[in-house]
Amino acid sequence: MARKTKSISGVDLTQIIKPRSVAVIGASEKEEKVGHVIMQNYLDVGFQGPIYPINIKAQEKIMGIQAYKSILDVKKPVDLAVIAVPAEAVPHVLEQCGKAKVKGAVIVSGGFEEVGRKDLQDAIKTISKKYRLPFIGPNCLGIMDPRSRNDTLFLPTSKIDRPKIGGVSFVSQSGSVGSSTLDLISGEGFGLAHFISYGNAAVVDEVDILNYLADDPETRVIVFYLEGVQRGKEFIEVVKKVTGKKPIVILKGGETPSGVSAAHSHTAALAGSYEAYKAVFRQFGLTVAEELEELLYYAKVFETQPLSTGNRIAIITNGGGHGVIATDALYRNGLMLPNLSRETEKSLRKAMPKIVNIAMPMDLGGEADAKRYQAALEILENDPNVDGFMVITLFQTPGADESLASAIAKFATGRKKPVVAVSTGSTYTRSHVSIMEASGIPVYESPTAAAKSLSALIEYSRYKEESAK
Amino acid sequence: MADSPSLMSYDAAQKLAAKYGIKPIKSQYVASADEAVRFSEGKPIALKGITPKAIHKSRNGLVSLNLYNEKMIRDSFSDLSKKLAKLKPFKILAQRMAASGTEIIIGGKVDPQFGKMLILGLGGIYVEAFRDFALRVCPITGRDAHSMISQLKSRSVVAPDKETERMLEDLLVRASKLFMGSNAAEMDFNPIIIHDAGYDAVDIRIMV
């Protein structure tokens, strides 16, 4: 915990993300209170450090834990204060946190600038500055850090699944987009490094958060839902720093109509605010998602697959039609099929039964089993003309069963070339998809989603290579 | 919002562009038909009404092209003067005709969030119809210039060969430098006519 990550604005998020001790201000025995849910979650996820429930009306204990009327009564070091009291009371409570030398806060309470109470928001900003007490929020869900089991979300564990531990950090300006997407992430094959919902960004903003994640060894991929930035120039500086190291997948909400009527030139009329954001994302190597589901598509390919600047993708399939659709999807997304080397063709001819036509996309036949897939993949892997794989496994066919899912999983593990799989289907298919995803292969329901994801991976790989020159 | 920006005079804009190696097509303000005839030196010219009241010169009928004899120049001058009387203040610009080619637009704007940005697009009457353009934050690198061109759907029309592409990359980097080096709030080079791996910058508008 010695790592100190000072951001451009000098905010250190370490104590907020990975606190050693937590105070829940607004903790309550009453189940309907936000402070109760937050307490319950800390107990459910098994936070290891001391927890201090604070409530002005506190008697002896809250939820079985020694409680205090004020943070000033705790008299022990507190890294993080989670503040869940009515907005009007927040300035007073925050001031006390400052006096108690709390290192950071998450203010989940709403009722600030988002409802026109700029005065209240300004008040807590001033207090933050006075005591050098950074906080996330207000009006946010805050932090979930599965490694340290820090969890300020006021969403009961019974209603939203907690994702497993992994390398994807998910940052969301919005709480609702954050929580629903988080729930979806827990159903995916990849795991979470940190979840950060930062709401009104009164003090800690996107620049501070990205700056922390840039140097954070636990974060391999950043997924971001953004509505707007507050410091454009600093944002550019920090994303440049991040994308030189790791990918950022971003969804920008709030598509402002361009073609402002007050524009004085063609240029100003063409390039509105949304276009400017998109241009910045493109110029500095961010991967743009157009929809929520694309955030997940791209996150899982980045989290699990190696980078590749080559765009020649071998397609193997046990359904001819899917091979055709997948080929279209490749070319539509700037990818192409490889020209197989003579040697590869010869080896494949030897290994495959007569009914298999040795050409790209390669249809292994409806009866293709694990062995046939494995043989084809191993030969193709050694072809220098092949940069990556799209493996289509339709589990409705007679040859496809659990051993096929396991064989694909085994093949894809630790490859130097990216592999994505496509499996379209319902119940039977889904159970096999989980086998593959559990071992770290991104599986997509459609060839289009798979092709888009490979394309995003390749585009970022090229950006990274170019920008390193 | 600050005060509404004002249009830099054509002469000043031309000089500023020239400082960054962007050479506009030969042109001059003319106060009379006689002056326009003298400027033409017997070669075809265009006359354009310049007024802050109308950014769409052609849409407002303020552009007369390919005037290749004295009578055409005089007729068009008097016609333009009549139209412009309603759009004061105005000036009339005489310009040598550019060779025919592909019209593009290069421009700059200040984004409230990200600052100065450069745009490249398919130009002329197509700008708003196709909205085929690429945008970058200034200053741009040669690599940015390259990727701007390849981002256009019309890239094979705008830069049909390597030579044109290189010329255009260089021009984009110069335009970015110009924009960064000036106090301009908006700028439009529209159109720039691309032909024979070279260009004619027909119209320059800089708002400060």
pLDDT (tens digit per residue) in B132-191: 899 999 999 999 999 999 999 999 999 999 999 999 999 999 999 999 999 999 999 988
Helix (H) or strand (E) holding B67: strand B63-67
Q: Map tokens 């949304």 to a residue.
A: A274
Residues B104 and B179 occupy one common structural domain = yes
Q: What is the pLDDT of residues A204-225, one digit of tens each?
A: 999 999 999 999 999 999 999 9
Q: Determine, for residues B109 and A271 on separate chains, whether the beta-carbon distance falls below 8 Å.
A: yes
Q: Mean pLDDT: which of A252-261, A276-285, B11-20 is highest?
A: A276-285
Residues B17 and B59 occupy one common structural domain = no
Are A193 and A167 spatial neighbours (Cβ–Cβ below 8 Å)?
yes
Asked if residue A401 has pLDDT above 90, the reply is no
Average pLDDT over residues B88-110: 90
The one-letter amino acid code at A71 reads: I
The one-letter amino acid code at B53 reads: K
Measured between alpha carbons, how far is A306 from A458 in angstroms, rounded to an integer? 10
Query: What whole-number percentage of chain A has pLDDT above 90?
Result: 73
User: Considering the domain boundaries, does residue B2 fall inside one?
Assistant: no
Residues B170 and B105 occupy one common structural domain = yes
The more confident residue out of A110 and A413 is A110
**B1 to chain A: which residues are within 8 Å by CB?**
262
Task: Write the CATH number for B33.
Answer: 3.30.1490.20
User: Considering the domain boundaries, does residue B39 fall inside one?
Assistant: yes
Average pLDDT over residues A73-97: 97
- In this prediction, residue B11 carries a pLDDT of 79
Average pLDDT over residues B107-127: 89
DSSP state of A114: G
Measured between alpha carbons, how far is B155 from A331 in angstroms, rounded to an integer? 18
Question: Of B35, B68, B96, at which residue does a domain stop?
Answer: B96
Q: Determine, for residues B117 and A278 on separate chains, whether the beta-carbon distance falls below 8 Å.
A: no
Q: Determine, for residues B113 and A268 on separate chains, whether the beta-carbon distance falls below 8 Å.
A: no
Task: Write the CATH number for B163.
Answer: 3.30.470.20
Question: What is the interface pTM, i.e. ipTM, of the complex?
Answer: 0.81
Residues A428 and A313 occupy one common structural domain = yes
Q: Determine, for residues A278 and B5 on separate chains, whether the beta-carbon distance falls below 8 Å.
A: no
Residues A297 and A333 occupy one common structural domain = no
Asked if residue A6 has pLDDT above 50, the reply is no
Q: What is the pLDDT of residues A35-63, one digit of tens each?
A: 999 999 999 989 999 999 999 998 889 99
Measured between alpha carbons, how far is A390 from A373 in angstroms, rounded to an integer? 12
Residues A288 and A314 occupy one common structural domain = no
3-state DSSP call for residue A243? helix
- In this prediction, residue A10 carries a pLDDT of 63
Q: Supply the Cα-derived Rg of chain B in whole angstroms.
A: 17
* CB nearest B113 (choices: A232, A265, A270): A232
Residues B186 and B124 occupy one common structural domain = yes
- Whole-model pTM: value is 0.88
Torsion of CA A412, A413, A417, A423, to 10 degrees: 30
Q: Map tokens 């720039």 to a residue.
A: B192
Average pLDDT over residues A6-12: 57
User: Considering the domain boundaries, does residue A221 fall inside one?
Assistant: yes
Question: Of B96, B116, B150, at which residue does a domain stop?
Answer: B96
| Chain A contact for B111 (CB, 8 A cutoff) | yes
Residues B185 and B123 occupy one common structural domain = yes
The whole domain housing A39 covers 12-139
* CB nearest A267 (choices: B107, B115, B151): B107
- The Cα-based distances of B98 to A274, A288, A432, B102, B198 in angstroms read 35, 40, 66, 11, 11
| Chain A contact for B3 (CB, 8 A cutoff) | no
Tell me the pLDDT of chain A averaged across its residues.
91
User: Considering the domain boundaries, does residue A149 fall inside one?
Assistant: no
- In this prediction, residue B3 carries a pLDDT of 53
Q: What is the pLDDT of residues A106-157, one digit of tens each?
A: 999 999 998 999 999 999 999 999 999 999 999 999 999 999 999 999 887 7
Question: Of B96, B119, B142, at which residue does a domain stop?
Answer: B96
User: Considering the domain boundaries, does residue A146 fall inside one?
Assistant: no
Residues A291 and A420 occupy one common structural domain = no
User: Considering the domain boundaries, does residue B105 fall inside one?
Assistant: yes
Residues B123 and B178 occupy one common structural domain = yes
Mutation test of the interface with chain A: which of B1, B7, B51, B109, choosing the one with the most A Cβ atoms within 10 A?
Answer: B109
User: Considering the domain boundaries, does residue B4 fall inside one?
Assistant: no
The whole domain housing B58 covers 27-96
Q: How many domains does chain B have?
A: 2
Q: What residues 250-289 of chain A have any CB closer than 8 A to a CB of chain B?
A: 262-271, 273, 275-280, 282-283
- In this prediction, residue A258 carries a pLDDT of 45
User: Considering the domain boundaries, does residue A2 fall inside one?
Assistant: no
Q: Determine, for residues A275 and B113 on separate chains, whether the beta-carbon distance falls below 8 Å.
A: no
Mutation test of the interface with chain A: which of B3, B56, B105, B114, choosing the one with the most A Cβ atoms within 10 A?
Answer: B114
Measured between alpha carbons, how far is A201 from A135 in angstroms, rounded to an integer? 9
User: Considering the domain boundaries, does residue A216 fall inside one?
Assistant: yes
- In this prediction, residue A453 carries a pLDDT of 98
State how beta strands A22-25 and A80-83 pair. parallel
